[in-house]
Amino acid sequence: MKIRILIILLFCMYSISSASDTLSPGQVLMKTQLIYSNLKDFSVKAKVIADIPNFRMPVKTVEFYYKNPDLFEAKTKGFALVPKYCLLPFSNSNKILRTPQNFKINKRVTIDKKKYIILQYINDNDKLKNKILFWVDAYLWRIDKINILQQDKLLSTIDFSYQNLDGFWLPDTTLFTMIFPKGIPNASGPSISDPFGGSQFGTLQNQIDLEGQVKIIFSDYKINKGIDDNFFENRNEIAH
Amino acid sequence: MLLLKLIYIELIKIFKRPRSYIGFITIGILIPLIMFLIDKFGFDFQQHHFLPFESAFLFQGSLVNGYLISYYLMTVLWVHFPFFIILVAGDSFAGEAAKGTFRIFLTRPVSRFQVITAKFIATYIYTAIIVAFLGFMCLGAGSIILGSGDLFVFDKGILILSQNEALLRFFIGYLLAIFVQMVVASLALFLSTLNDNSVAPIIGTYAIIIVSIILSILKIDALESIKPYLFTTYFDVFFSPFADPIPWSDIFNYLIALGKFIGLFYILSIVSFVRKDILS
């Protein structure tokens, strides 16, 4: 009896592990979507910490509001820079991930005993030939990393770490590492000879590419509290 | 005690002259008007300066607020604003000489040194009040009409100061602006001791400021050696608090340099006024 159970268990484990090797891009996306199917809405507070060369901003608190499938709003006191892409890496909220036909499996890798399926987004209309790679955890079915490449040159990487709340894997910390083409000029403030300051902004072409990071730390999630549609009056044009 | 009384009398003289209110009226009308026009027609600022971010970031909220406009309006403190100070300071000695009130005034048991010191201090108080009024109008009207918030400045790239931090920087900035305008007032007072007509010190002071600023701006190697001797070279000290970290040692050095000019003009005024023949 014990041997039978062991055989069945081994068979199940093999089936699970081999299943991820045969899934189509659409099926992989569906699996990442499935775990959020009961996520109707949520609000979350986020600390935005920017570490970008020649750019200093105080740590900002932004409140994000999301309602399934595509309502999104960010609110903050004063000013904040919020990454435009992949802030919420859920299949059913992300415009790109809603088009499984535009994906292909790039490769399957194992890093630190963790299996990943790397999906590649293909956009034939993109003249810049951007390549977007989604690293899907083949066990938990979460998107753990996104790479954006332009002509095989890495432009940005987004690393997600998650927390499990009410059965949903929601972002805990998201780290955006990106290259700023031609950088941000090392402009100085007003002076007698440059009364308004920042005249160096006219010499952008002389700048080099600079790498910067934006870290977003999420806290105080409120899940499925029933946010009204009217709340999202100023819908953000964000490819969340 | 006598000096305090003299200062009080000088302040009354200043605030009894209609010309002392020209600055207040101009600021009182112009600043809210500028804020109102920016509120109505906008200020294309954010899009231009955040070009490197445009592809990757979404701008949440606006940086165009009362603080930003107040920051840019501080540039008027170089050329335009000194006119209001000069108008009052330039008339201080010359005006009295023209009216012939010195002869009666100096028959009283006060020394010329006390008179000149009282006039300098009273003019400095006026300077502080009008600069504070400019700050109050900029930040007050700006916050009411355009709202308050984070402050965008240039410092080794882009620096965004939080609202509270910005208010503190403005406070330090306006204090330094008072010190800068005190140099202008001192020069105007000195030239006023040399003349019996207030037009000459007013035009003279303004001309010196304009010429000094031109010499400070010109990027000619030959002029570099004379720049430390021009007081306008140190005029941008009031923008220093908007850097991070605040360059206290630079500010201190600039204040020392400006203090030397104040001292120089004060001593020259004493020499001029003490030796002056009061003939009318």
Write the CB contacts of B96 (distance below 8 Å, at least 6 apart in sequence). Answer: B102, B105
CATH number at residue A151: 2.50.20.10
pLDDT at B105 > cutoff 50? yes
Structure confidence at residue B52 (pLDDT) = 65
B29-40: per-residue pLDDT in tens? 999 999 999 999
Say yes or no for a CB contact (<8 Å) between A58 and B161. Answer: yes
Say yes or no for a CB contact (<8 Å) between A54 and B233. Answer: no
Q: A69 pLDDT band (50/70/90 cuts)?
A: confident
Say yes or no for a CB contact (<8 Å) between B60 and A62. Answer: yes
Poorest-pLDDT segment among A29-38, A91-100, B202-211: A91-100
Report how many domains make up chain A. 1
Domain that holds residue A103: 23-182+212-231
pLDDT at A164 > cutoff 80? yes
Say yes or no for a CB contact (<8 Å) between B160 and A186. Answer: no
d(CA B59, CA B167): 23
- CB nearest B56 (choices: A84, A183, A185): A84
The distance of B176 to chain A (nearest Cα, Å) reads 14
Residue B59: both structure tokens together: 């701008």
Say yes or no for a CB contact (<8 Å) between B157 and A184. Answer: yes
Q: B109 pLDDT band (50/70/90 cuts)?
A: confident
**What is the number of other CB atoms lying within 10 angstroms of the CB of residue B258?**
21
Structure confidence at residue B19 (pLDDT) = 93
Is the residue at A10 inside a domain? no
Say yes or no for a CB contact (<8 Å) between B58 and A55. Answer: no
Q: B157: which chain A residues are within 8 Å (Cβ-Cβ)?
A: 53-56, 184-187
Structure confidence at residue A14 (pLDDT) = 46
Q: How high does pLDDT run on average in chain B?
A: 90
Averaged pLDDT, A134-155: 88
Q: Which of A177-186, A191-200, B124-133, B209-218 has the highest mean pLDDT?
A: B124-133
pLDDT at A8 > cutoff 70? no
Name the residue with higher pLDDT: B107 or B25.
B25
CB burial of B49-64 (b: ≥16 within 10 Å; e: otherwise) equals bbebbeebbbbbbbbb
Residue A216: both structure tokens together: 């977003």
β-strands A80-83, B57-60 pairing: antiparallel
Name the residue with higher pLDDT: A107 or A9.
A107
Structure confidence at residue A186 (pLDDT) = 74
Structure confidence at residue A227 (pLDDT) = 86
Is the residue at A115 inside a domain? yes
In order, the DSSP letters of B155-182 are: SSSEEEE-HHHHHHHHHHHHHHHHHHHH
Q: A178: which chain B residues are within 8 Å (Cβ-Cβ)?
A: 56
Query: Is B228 in the A-facing interface, judged by CB distances under 8 Å?
Result: no
Say yes or no for a CB contact (<8 Å) between B154 and A53. Answer: no
Say yes or no for a CB contact (<8 Å) between B58 and A236. Answer: yes
d(CA A180, CA A188): 19
B 190-219: CB under 8 A from A: 213, 216-217, 219
Spatial contact of B111 and B42, defined as CB atoms under 8 Å apart: no
The distance of A202 to chain B (nearest Cα, Å) reads 10
- In degrees to the nearest 10, what's the CA dihedral of B151, B69, B140, B74? 100
Write the CB contacts of B190 (distance below 8 Å, at least 6 apart in sequence). Answer: B265, B266, B268, B269, B272
CA atoms within 13 A on the CB side of B32: 11
Q: Which residue of A has its CA nearest to B76?
A: A195
β-strands B158-161, A55-56 pairing: parallel
Poorest-pLDDT segment among A118-127, B19-28, B31-40, B264-273: A118-127
pLDDT at B82 > cutoff 70? yes
Q: A54 pLDDT band (50/70/90 cuts)?
A: confident
In order, the DSSP letters of chain B are: -HHHHHHHHHHHHHHHSGGGGHHHHHHHHHHHHHHHHHHHH--TTHHHHTGGGTTTEEEES-S-SHHHHHHHHGGGGTTTTHHHHHHHHHHHHHHHHHHT-HHHHTTSS--HHHHHHHHHHHHHHHHHHHHHHHHHHHHHHHHHHT----EEEESSSEEEE-HHHHHHHHHHHHHHHHHHHHHHHHHHHHHHHH-SSTHHHHHHHHHHHHHHHHHHH---HHHHTTGGG-GGGGGGGGGGGGSSS--HHHHHHHHHHHHHHHHHHHHHHHHHHHT-----
Name the residue with higher pLDDT: A90 or A222.
A222
Spatial contact of B88 and B139, defined as CB atoms under 8 Å apart: no
pLDDT at A239 > cutoff 50? no
- CB nearest A189 (choices: B59, B149, B239): B239
d(CA A130, CA B56): 13
Q: Where are the domains of chain B?
A: 2-40+61-274
Q: How high does pLDDT run on average in chain A?
A: 79
Q: B161: which chain A residues are within 8 Å (Cβ-Cβ)?
A: 58
CB burial of A46-61 (b: ≥16 within 10 Å; e: otherwise) equals bebbbebebbbbbebe
The distance of A72 to chain B (nearest Cα, Å) reads 13
Query: Is B43 in the A-facing interface, judged by CB distances under 8 Å?
Result: no
Q: B238: which chain A residues are within 8 Å (Cβ-Cβ)?
A: none
Structure confidence at residue A182 (pLDDT) = 66
Poorest-pLDDT segment among B127-136, B172-181, B196-205: B196-205
pLDDT at A240 > cutoff 50? no
Which of A49, A57, A88, A192 would best serve as a mutation to test chain B binding (most B beta carbons within 10 A)? Answer: A192
**What is the number of other CB atoms lying within 10 angstroms of the CB of residue A205?**
6
Write the CB contacts of B29 (distance below 8 Å, at least 6 apart in sequence). Answer: none
Is the residue at A74 inside a domain? yes
Say yes or no for a CB contact (<8 Å) between A56 and B243. Answer: no
Say yes or no for a CB contact (<8 Å) between A186 and B233. Answer: no
Poorest-pLDDT segment among A127-131, A144-148, A158-162: A127-131
Say yes or no for a CB contact (<8 Å) between B158 and A184. Answer: yes
Q: Give A111's strand partners.
A: A114
Structure confidence at residue B68 (pLDDT) = 92
Is the residue at A138 inside a domain? yes
φ/ψ (deg, to 5) at B170? -60, -40
Averaged pLDDT, B108-131: 92
- CB nearest A189 (choices: B62, B232, B242): B242
